Structure 1
């Protein structure tokens, strides 16, 4: 009887572990609105292009820092951050927010 309970417990633990490993993680997004040149992006996440010919105006009304990059696809180097609750000119080619 003890062997049967142990086997059942091990089986339940193995099933729980398999389910935990099979479930994909959820992506986190910033909560709020990120405005890029007046266009709203609700609960933004990822890389956004900025103006090609003129710097973009960015208003960060989220709970995350927006990072301005000098590369077009959020590559290169970080030029400057735009903190939550701040409006700034994005002197870069792209912006990343998580």
Structure 2
């Protein structure tokens, strides 16, 4: 009886994991262009070593422009999908 219960518990746990959709696997669809460098299916933080910071958002997600390196500091601008901007004080961008 214990073996059957253990087997059913294992099957239930495996089914739960198989049906779960991990949020961390999601990336924006499209291309993010940061100072002329294109990133396909972007996700996370992208830095720049040049100013002004030029951002072209050709994705389906909002891009956040930060005034600090490594996506730190304050969000100083948003770049909506299908738009672009030049940010004089931007240092890095983040996209979900």
TM-score interval for Structure 1 and Structure 2 normalised by the shorter chain: 0.7 to 0.9
Of 44, 47, 67, the residue aligned with 1:46 is 44
Normalised TM-score (structure 1): 0.76
Unpaired stretches in structure 2, ≥5 consecutive residues: none
Unpaired stretches in structure 1, ≥5 consecutive residues: none
- Which residues in structure 2 correspond to 1:83-98 (within 5 Å)? 83-90=80-87, 91-98=89-96
- Which residues in structure 2 correspond to 1:8-87 (within 5 Å)? 8=4, 10-19=5-14, 20=17, 25=22, 26-52=24-50, 54-87=51-84
Q: Measure the CA separation in 1 of the matches of 2:91 and 2:12.
A: 44
Rg larger for? 1
Query: Please, what is the CA RMSD of the aligned residues?
Result: 2.5
Q: Measure the CA separation in 2 of the matches of 1:13 and 1:70.
A: 53
Normalised TM-score (structure 2): 0.78
More displaced stretch, 78-87 vs 88-97: 88-97
Q: Measure the CA separation in 1 of the matches of 2:90 and 2:61.
A: 18
